[in-house]
Amino acid sequence: MALEDAVLGYLDKNEEISDSGKFADEQGLSHDEIVNVIKSLNGFRLVDAQDIKKEKWVLTQEGSQYAEAGSPEVQLFLAIPNEGITQEDLQKKLDPSLFKIGWQQAIKNKWIEVIKSRDSGKSQDAGKLQGSGKKSQDSAKSQVSRKVENVEDRVKDLLIKIQNGEDVGSEDIDALKRRKLIVQQTWKGYSVKKGPKYAPKRKKAATDLTRENIQRGDWRELEFKEYNFSAKGQPVEGGHLHPLLKVRRQVQMIFLQMGFEEMPTNNFVESSFWNFDALFQPQQHPARDSHDTFFLKEPSTTRTLPEDYVQRVKQIHESGGYGSRGYGYEWKREEADKNLLRTHTTAVSSRMLYALAQQPFAPKKYYSIDRVFRNEAVDRTHLAEFHQIEGLICDRGLTLGDLIGVLHDFFSRLGMSKLRFKPAYNPYTEPSMEIFSYHEGLQKWVEIGNSGMFRPEMLRPMGLPEDVHVIAWGLSLERPTMILYGIDNIRSLFGHKVDLDLIKTNPICRLGL
């Protein structure tokens, strides 16, 4: 700020700074720095600066050498002793180009005399002795002596004057210019007057109005920095869609395009009854072990179940019905009441089908995509929670052929058109089929889902008519997501070890062809 104060302070006492160059010299300041300060003050209109352009002579490199060491002609003159010297010896004493220039100038100035050795003492203009060959052989032996006693180094003096910015006559300028000792340069500076916003000291613009400013009352004097509306703000930290959400959205679109309705899956806590018993899963089934299922401690049991339906479920488990022999074991209500984290979304399907059976029959196509929980050891492909995609169609007279047809339709929309089915077992479906798809990248068949036709032991106790069949299938959302996004460890997709870069930068999801 010292420089700024120097400029503003000077203008407080003087009308103007007529020449920034002179001002800088007088104050012993660097002109370049003064120029920067003037430009800035001019920008804020504290001063009014006008350009000054001056053509200035400056010394060339050669010029500055002579300004220091003297002109070549003087250097040459001083190299000649009082008694004279041969041209050869004189040449040895001086740098060749210096000798050449000095020689010419000294002759021109008539400072030296040259007497040719084989000449009978006749002096000659040295200019004529220049050259090569025989002639210069002769001239080498010429005797050189001073013609005047003293010389004055005008060239050096002129160069120093120019260096100091003093005025030099135009004839001298021309001569120096011809000898390439000086060149012209445009010098830029300013003349400076007070500007419309002049103040002897610049106030630093305040960026904030503080509590202290108000208490002290100095807000009245403060100048506030104008708000910069075109400044670029901080980049906005937006949210990012997780790959699972992207794939879920696409699968959802497929179901909707196929005319399916979404089932309400907003209850992670389910009773064993809807998760297992209603699905004709026997109470001794290993999946109902606490090693495979998370049971709830609080609340440990469900509050209400549809009692008449519970009785029909108990009966089908114990002694069968509708042409089934049942399992032949003693069904316990306490087991059915136990709360758990649902192990599959088929628990929701059973609730939905029961609800459907309570009304005059109408065919339905239902789907859901939501979270399920299994008490499993975590590894590269398993987590204790994952997402299930589930679809079902409930209609009269559906067959296994319908299931296969729908699966082809559904999976080809997902981009998997080569399918194979393998007989499987589920307590609630008969027949059951595992679904395999040929993976072009992996060059092999990979299991992609499970399917089947719900058993009469499940549907009839609900109250569905005998000719109503339900075809259904389920798969995980994680499996296709990992294949689509090339993720080989489920832990980088979901959970506390998730790869945040992946979450922020994953590409859009496109299924199918």
- Residue 452 in the binding site for ligand PHE (CB under 6 A): yes
Stated as kind and residue range, the H or E segment containing 184 is: strand 182-194
Can you tell me which of 387, 474, 480, 481 binds ligand PHE, judged by CB under 6 A? 474
Which CB atom, from 426 or from 492, has the smaller least distance to ligand PHE?
426
Q: Which stretch binds ligand PHE (CB under 6 A): 10-18, 54-62, 447-455, 494-502?
A: 447-455
Smallest gap from residue 434 Cβ to ligand PHE (A): 9
Instruction: Considering only CA atoms, give the Rg of the chain.
Output: 52
Smallest gap from residue 337 Cβ to ligand PHE (A): 22
Q: 153 — alpha (psi -120 to 50), left (phi > 0) or beta?
A: beta
- Residue 451 in the binding site for ligand PHE (CB under 6 A): yes
CA 387 to each of CA 158, 249, 343, 374, 510: distance values in angstroms, whole numbers, following the listed order? 93, 13, 10, 11, 19
Can you tell me which of 75, 250, 271, 426 binds ligand PHE, judged by CB under 6 A? 426
To which residue do tokens 């299922």 refer? 293
Which CB atom, from 190 or from 473, has the smaller least distance to ligand PHE?
473
Q: Between 7 and 46, how does the x/- string for binding to ligand PHE read (CB under 6 A)?
A: ----------------------------------------
Which CB atom, from 383 or from 502, has the smaller least distance to ligand PHE?
383
- Residue 344 in the binding site for ligand PHE (CB under 6 A): yes
Which CB atom, from 112 or from 453, has the smaller least distance to ligand PHE?
453
- Residue 102 in the binding site for ligand PHE (CB under 6 A): no
Nearest to 151 by CA among 62, 92, 75: 75
Which CB atom, from 452 or from 456, has the smaller least distance to ligand PHE?
452
Q: Which stretch binds ligand PHE (CB under 6 A): 107-115, 180-188, 213-221, 450-458?
A: 450-458
Which CB atom, from 107 or from 407, has the smaller least distance to ligand PHE?
407
Regarding beta strands 123-124 and 112-115, do their DSSP bridges make them parallel or antiparallel, or are they unpaired? antiparallel
- Residue 480 in the binding site for ligand PHE (CB under 6 A): no
- The vertex-230 CA angle with 226 and 234, nearest 5°, equals 105
Residue 409 neighbours by CB under 8 Å, 6+ apart: 258
Q: Which stretch binds ligand PHE (CB under 6 A): 88-96, 203-211, 246-254, 444-452?
A: 444-452
Contact present, 411 and 417 (Cβ < 8 Å) = yes
Which structure tokens are listed for 513? 């062809």
- Residue 4 in the binding site for ligand PHE (CB under 6 A): no
Q: Rounding to the nearest 10 degrees, give the CA dihedral for residues 106, 107, 113, 114.
A: 120
Which CB atom, from 390 or from 457, has the smaller least distance to ligand PHE?
390
Can you tell me which of 472, 477, 482, 487 binds ligand PHE, judged by CB under 6 A? 472
Can you tell me which of 346, 437, 492, 506 binds ligand PHE, judged by CB under 6 A? 346
Nearest to 277 by CA among 194, 351, 336: 336
- Residue 271 in the binding site for ligand PHE (CB under 6 A): no
Contact present, 290 and 375 (Cβ < 8 Å) = yes
Residue 467 neighbours by CB under 8 Å, 6+ apart: 396, 397
| Residues composing the chain | 513
State the amino acid at position 56 in one-letter form: K
- Residue 478 in the binding site for ligand PHE (CB under 6 A): no
Residue 56 neighbours by CB under 8 Å, 6+ apart: 165, 184, 185, 186, 187
Smallest gap from residue 431 Cβ to ligand PHE (A): 10
- The residue number whose beta carbon is nearest to ligand PHE equals 474
For helices 154-163 and 61-69, angle between their N-to-C axes, nearest 10 degrees: 120
| Distance in angstroms (rounded) separating the CA atoms of residues 264 and 366 | 10
Q: What is the DSSP string of 372-402?
A: EE-----BTTB-SEEEEEEEEEEEET--HHH
State the amino acid at position 499 in one-letter form: D
What's phi and psi for 486, nearest 5 deg? 60, 40
- Residue 354 in the binding site for ligand PHE (CB under 6 A): no
Residues 221-240 that bind ligand PHE (CB under 6 A): none
Total binding residues for ligand PHE by CB under 6 A?
11
Q: Which stretch binds ligand PHE (CB under 6 A): 38-46, 50-58, 154-162, 470-478?
A: 470-478
Q: Hey, is 34 helix, strand or coil?
A: helix
Which CB atom, from 321 or from 427, has the smaller least distance to ligand PHE?
427
| Distance in angstroms (rounded) separating the CA atoms of residues 71 and 183 | 17
To which residue do tokens 């503080």 refer? 210
| Distance in angstroms (rounded) separating the CA atoms of residues 316 and 322 | 9
Smallest gap from residue 381 Cβ to ligand PHE (A): 15
Q: Which stretch binds ligand PHE (CB under 6 A): 410-418, 435-443, 448-456, 485-493?
A: 448-456
Which CB atom, from 344 or from 460, has the smaller least distance to ligand PHE?
344
Can you tell me which of 57, 103, 473, 494 binds ligand PHE, judged by CB under 6 A? 473
Residues 387-406 that bind ligand PHE (CB under 6 A): 390
- Residue 331 in the binding site for ligand PHE (CB under 6 A): no
Q: How many CA within 13 A on the CB side of residue 20?
A: 29
**Residues at the interface with ligand PHE (CB under 6 A):** 344, 346, 390, 426, 429, 450-452, 472-474
